[in-house]
A and B are shown apart, each in its own frame.
Chain A
Amino acid sequence: MIGLVVTGAAAALISLYLTITHYGGAALVCVPASFVDCDAVTSSSYSLVPFTDIPIALAGIGWSVMSAAGGVLALRRDPPWLRPAHLAWAGAALLFALYLINAEIAVIGRICEWCTALHVLIVATFFLALSRMR
């Protein structure tokens, strides 16, 4: 359960950084590599919530905070509805992350390492939530 808090908090921090750079127009700190181009990814329309001008990173903050809050609640009371709810929350994020990974690899042809870190945290959250269903 502490793992859910940690992954949620880490994802919130990364999402916050991505949101600040989006609105501030600053370049992301990104290690140059042949398959990494943060600017290409974050300047694509896939960096926005579909049909809006809202950066996905902003939605990511909301998701991460809720996930971390779920972890905190699990530590304190752990009501019966929390486990399936957290799994559904993480599962939805996992599917959206796979959509974004496809956009990075198949459409943009580059990945963003900060986005990849977020995807890893989402996958970790999903498996932590899944393990709590036992």
Chain B
Amino acid sequence: MSRASRGVPAATRRDRRSAERASPRARHRERPSIWRGPLPYVAAIVLIVGAIVWSVLSSRGGPAPTLTGAASAAVVASVTSIPADVYDTVGSGGLADPLRATTFEMLRGPSGLPLVIYVGAEYCPFCASEKWSVIAALSRFGTFQGLELSTSSSTDAFPDTPTLTFRTASYQSTFIELSAIETADRQGRPMANTTPVQQAAMDRSDPQSSIPFVSIAERHVAVGSGYRPDVLVGKTWTQIAEAMRDPSTPLARGVIGNANWITAAICEQTGGQPASVCASPAVRSLAVR
């Protein structure tokens, strides 16, 4: 028995001890709790505000990426000459068919070949992503001249997405014809009006005139990007061109998978020509779906 407890009746001491054992909350109340003060609230507010401020600051990236002329030519050469085994390995890339079949008659170009139409704009981020696939696919049927590098708008969604532009491009093929237009530059300033043929195709299949608009001889049409454009974010043209050749990358599955769907739709209009492209495993597997 301690000196301090002398003189206190034993029954009272027992009562006090049992009361303390029976009520741990009462004992807890006597101690300061971290949950009772402002600290948790302040910490949470600092975390939330800090995270948002950090996001805003990191969104203000540097200037749009630029490339030298030689590097630009290397990117264009890479994108327009992707090996066939890359297309075959990627297949659909896990993408659902981005093209919608129509009941329209096949649309032919001035020389009687199936006409592929592309309508987009340089500022448009979804056009930026779609063009990588369109150019890769069309390069299997013909040859581009005058493709240049560009980026989407700095102030739109997915700002400064690297891409290529049809601004000064021409296309030669013995299987299809291409009618491509960039209606505005990357600042959104008008550059060109759609031709009557392009506009008529849009009016029939894309009444809201959404871009990008891709028409494969009016038998298949796509509005919007066939894959998620964020796979391109933060990459340079060179990195994108390299990743397109690596079937294991999410970027290749998006860009090449979409290109394979476009290729399969074109092959349907060319009667399976050229066989080197249209008889490939990837195209055949997508064509039978």
**Contact assessment for A98 and B48 in the assembled complex, using a CB-CB cutoff below 8 Å:** yes
The answer, yes or no, to whether B31 is at the interface (CB within 8 Å) is no
A127 to chain B, nearest CB (A): 7
Chain A residues whose C-beta falls within 8 Å of the C-beta of B35 in the assembled complex: 130, 133-134
**Contact assessment for A108 and B231 in the assembled complex, using a CB-CB cutoff below 8 Å:** no
The residue of chain A having its C-beta at the shortest distance from the C-beta of B25 within the complex is A80
* With A101-B52, A102-B51, A133-B35 as contacts: A44 and B229 at CB distance below 8 Å: yes
Q: How far apart are the CA atoms of A134 and B34 in the complex, in Å? A: 8
Chain A residues whose C-beta falls within 8 Å of the C-beta of B85 in the assembled complex: none
The residue of chain B having its C-beta at the shortest distance from the C-beta of A108 within the complex is B157
**Contact assessment for B55 and A130 in the assembled complex, using a CB-CB cutoff below 8 Å:** no
Q: How far apart are the CA atoms of A127 and B47 in the complex, in Å? A: 13
Q: Contact partner of A123 among B48, B56, B58, B159, CB < 8 A?
A: B48
DSSP majority for the A interface?
Answer: helix
* With A43-B228, A44-B228, A133-B40 as contacts: A102 and B159 at CB distance below 8 Å: no
**Contact assessment for B228 and A45 in the assembled complex, using a CB-CB cutoff below 8 Å:** yes
The residue of chain A having its C-beta at the shortest distance from the C-beta of B56 within the complex is A105
**Contact assessment for B231 and A45 in the assembled complex, using a CB-CB cutoff below 8 Å:** yes
**Contact assessment for A40 and B157 in the assembled complex, using a CB-CB cutoff below 8 Å:** yes
**Contact assessment for B56 and A130 in the assembled complex, using a CB-CB cutoff below 8 Å:** no
The residue of chain A having its C-beta at the shortest distance from the C-beta of B52 within the complex is A101
B159 to chain A, nearest CB (A): 5
Q: How far apart are the CA atoms of A121 and B237 in the complex, in Å? A: 40
**Contact assessment for A109 and B55 in the assembled complex, using a CB-CB cutoff below 8 Å:** no
The answer, yes or no, to whether A31 is at the interface (CB within 8 Å) is no
**Contact assessment for A106 and B36 in the assembled complex, using a CB-CB cutoff below 8 Å:** no
The answer, yes or no, to whether A63 is at the interface (CB within 8 Å) is no
The answer, yes or no, to whether A107 is at the interface (CB within 8 Å) is yes
* With A106-B58, A134-B36 as contacts: A37 and B157 at CB distance below 8 Å: yes
The residue of chain A having its C-beta at the shortest distance from the C-beta of B61 within the complex is A106
**Contact assessment for B228 and A101 in the assembled complex, using a CB-CB cutoff below 8 Å:** no
Q: How far apart are the CA atoms of A127 and B48 in the complex, in Å? A: 12
Q: How far apart are the CA atoms of A127 and B41 in the complex, in Å? A: 8
**Contact assessment for B54 and A102 in the assembled complex, using a CB-CB cutoff below 8 Å:** yes
**Contact assessment for B230 and A46 in the assembled complex, using a CB-CB cutoff below 8 Å:** yes
Q: Contact partner of A109 among B48, B52, B59, B224, CB < 8 A?
A: B59
A residues engaging B (CB < 8 A)? 34, 37, 40, 43-46, 94, 98, 101-102, 104-110, 123, 126-127, 130, 133-134
